[in-house]
C-alpha cells in the first residue's frame, strides 16, 4: 500500500476503510491481489446496481471498441448516443407516461446537481433554493451548498448564500415537517425567500437511509405547485432500480419538474444526466457545457442495461423479493443483539440502514469487523452511526444471505470482544 500512502493525497477515503488492493471483480464480489474474495454490499455507493463487470455490458463494450465506435464526441451526434436516447425513451419514459427532455452533463452526480440548480434559478429568476436536513447532493460548490452534513460545510470554502434548509420527513419524530415548510411560505415575514426550487432525495443515502413517506412527498409536490416552485428529485443514489422501480419516486405518483440521475445509469461507467420538463428547456445553445458531457462508452453500457433489465418486471420483482430477505434478517439480527444494541432497521428496496442509536462509534467498528469477514459495507448518517446495505441489485439469494451471515458474525465478534474488555476492567 506504500505507493498510495506516499503519493496519493490525504483526501483518500474508502482505501482507509478497506485497506487492500483490489484487482478483479465480478457480480457482487471483489477480489484482491492475494486472491481473497469479498462480498460487496456497497456497490460503488450505488453505482454497480447491475453488478461488477456485468457480462452483457462488458461484451457490448468490447464489441463497440473492436469496431472503433466513437469514444469521445463532445456533444455531437453519435450512433451510441442516438441508440441510448431511443432506448431511454422507449423503455423508461414512454411506459411511465413521462415527458422529459434529457440533458447530458459532466459525468458525475454533482455535475447533474449543479446543472439542475442553475437551470431552476435561470427559469424562475429567483436565487433561493430549499434543501432538506441531512441531504447530500455532492461536493462541488453549488451541490455542497445544498448538502447538510457539517463535514462538508466548512465556511471557508462553500458559499452558504441562497439556500434555506427545511426539516426532512421524520426529522422531528412523528411530526409532519411539511407543515413547517408550508407555514414559512405562508408567512411573508418568515424570512424564507420563495425559492426557485426544492431539491430532495426520496431516501437520503448518505444522510442515513432516511426514508420519505409517500404522503410527505405528495404534500411537497402540492406545495411546490401552489407556490410555483420547481421540484427537483435527486435520484442519483437511489434511482436506477434501487427501490425496485426505475425511479425512486414512482411509488408516490409524483411528477418532478427536474430529475438528476447518475451512478448506475452508466452501468458502472461515469455518466450523469438531468431530466427536465420540456417547458423548462430554456437554455441557449452551448450555455451550459462540459468536455465530458455524454460519454459514448457509457451510452453503450447504459443502453445495454436498460434493454436487459427494464423491458420487463423481472429485476423489479427480484429487488422486492430480496428486500424481504434483508429486512427480515436485519430485524432478526437487531433482535438477537437487543441487550447490547438499540437498533432501528429501515429502508426501501435494496437500500437499508442498520441504525445503532445507543453508540455512534459501533457502525464504523462494524464496517471494519465486516471487512475482516470479507464483506465490504459502509456507514452513513451525520455521525456515521448507521451501517448501510446497498448490494448490487443482481446479487443472488445465496450470496445475499452469505453477506448477511458475515455481517452477523462481525457483530458477534465485536460484541464478544467488548464484553471481554469490560470484564477485564473489573
Ligand X SMILES: Cc1ncc(COP(=O)(O)O)c(C=O)c1O
Binding site for ligand X (CB under 6 A): 45, 108-110, 113, 136-138, 201, 205-206, 234, 236-237, 262
Residue nearest to ligand X (CB): 109
Question: Would you say 38 or 136 has its CB closer to ligand X?
Answer: 136
Nearest approach, Cβ of residue 42 and ligand X (Å) = 12
Question: Would you say 64 or 136 has its CB closer to ligand X?
Answer: 136
Nearest approach, Cβ of residue 148 and ligand X (Å) = 12
Question: Would you say 137 or 346 has its CB closer to ligand X?
Answer: 137
Question: Would you say 25 or 248 has its CB closer to ligand X?
Answer: 248
Nearest approach, Cβ of residue 377 and ligand X (Å) = 16
Question: Would you say 237 or 379 has its CB closer to ligand X?
Answer: 237
Quote the CA–CA distance of 356 and 155 in Å, as a whole number.
30
Nearest approach, Cβ of residue 134 and ligand X (Å) = 11
Nearest approach, Cβ of residue 333 and ligand X (Å) = 25
Question: Would you say 61 or 113 has its CB closer to ligand X?
Answer: 113
Question: Would you say 27 or 208 has its CB closer to ligand X?
Answer: 208
Nearest approach, Cβ of residue 46 and ligand X (Å) = 7
Nearest approach, Cβ of residue 108 and ligand X (Å) = 4
Amino acid at each position: 500500500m506504500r505507493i498510495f500512502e506516499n503519493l496519493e493525497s490525504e483526501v483518500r477515503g474508502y482505501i482507509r476503510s478497506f485497506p487492500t488492493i483490489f484487482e478483479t471483480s465480478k457480480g457482487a464480489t471483489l477480489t484482491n491481489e492475494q486472491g481473497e474474495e469479498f462480498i460487496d454490499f456497497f456497490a460503488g455507493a450505488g453505482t454497480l446496481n447491475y453488478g461488477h463487470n456485468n457480462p452483457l455490458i462488458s461484451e457490448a463494450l468490447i464489441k463497440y471498441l473492436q469496431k472503433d465506435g466513437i469514444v469521445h464526441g463532445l456533444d455531437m451526434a453519435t450512433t451510441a448516443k442516438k441508440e441510448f436516447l431511443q432506448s431511454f425513451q422507449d423503455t423508461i419514459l414512454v411506459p411511465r407516461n413521462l415527458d422529459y427532455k434529457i440533458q447530458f452533463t459532466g459525468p458525475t452526480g454533482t455535475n447533474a446537481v449543479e446543472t439542475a440548480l442553475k437551470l431552476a434559478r435561470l427559469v424562475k429568476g429567483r436565487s433561493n433554493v430549499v434543501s432538506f436536513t441531512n441531504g447530500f447532493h455532492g461536493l462541488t460548490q453549488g451541490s455542497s451548498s445544498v448538502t447538510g452534513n457539517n463535514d462538508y460545510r466548512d465556511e471557508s470554502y462553500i458559499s452558504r448564500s441562497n439556500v434555506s434548509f427545511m426539516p426532512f420527513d421524520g426529522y422531528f419524530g412523528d411530526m409532519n415537517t411539511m407543515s413547517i415548510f408550508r407555514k414559512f411560505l405562508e408567512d411573508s415575514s418568515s424570512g424564507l425567500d420563495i425559492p426557485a426550487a426544492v431539491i430532495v432525495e426520496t431516501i437520503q443515502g448518505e444522510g442515513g437511509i432516511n426514508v420519505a413517506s409517500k404522503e410527505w412527498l405528495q404534500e411537497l409536490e402540492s406545495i411546490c405547485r401552489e407556490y410555483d416552485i420547481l421540484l427537483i428529485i435527486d435520484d442519483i443514489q437511489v434511482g436506477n432500480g434501487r427501490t425496485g422501480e426505475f425511479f425512486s419516486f414512482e411509488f408516490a405518483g409524483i411528477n418532478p419538474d427536474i430529475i438528476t440521475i447518475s451512478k448506475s445509469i452508466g452501468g458502472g461507467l461515469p455518466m450523469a444526466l438531468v431530466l427536465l420538463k420540456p417547458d423548462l428547456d430554456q437554455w441557449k445553445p452551448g450555455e451550459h457545457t462540459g468536455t465530458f458531457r455524454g460519454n459514448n462508452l457509457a451510452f453503450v453500457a447504459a443502453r445495454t442495461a436498460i434493454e436487459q433489465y427494464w423491458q420487463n418486471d423481472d429485476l423489479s420483482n427480484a429487488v422486492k423479493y430480496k428486500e424481504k430477505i434483508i429486512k427480515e434478517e436485519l430485524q432478526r439480527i437487531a433482535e438477537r443483539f437487543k441487550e447490547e444494541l438499540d437498533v432501528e432497521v429501515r429502508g426501501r428496496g435494496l437500500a437499508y440502514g442498520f441504525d445503532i442509536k445507543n453508540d455512534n462509534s459501533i457502525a464504523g467498528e462494524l464496517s471494519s469487523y465486516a471487512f475482516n469477514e470479507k464483506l465490504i459495507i459502509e456507514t452513513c448518517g451525520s455521525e456515521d452511526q448507521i451501517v448501510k446495505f446497498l448490494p448490487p441489485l443482481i446479487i443472488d439469494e445465496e450470496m445475499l444471505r452469505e453477506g448477511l451471515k458475515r455481517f452477523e458474525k462481525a457483530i458477534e465478534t465485536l460484541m464478544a470482544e467488548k464484553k471481554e474488555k469490560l470484564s477485564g476492567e473489573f
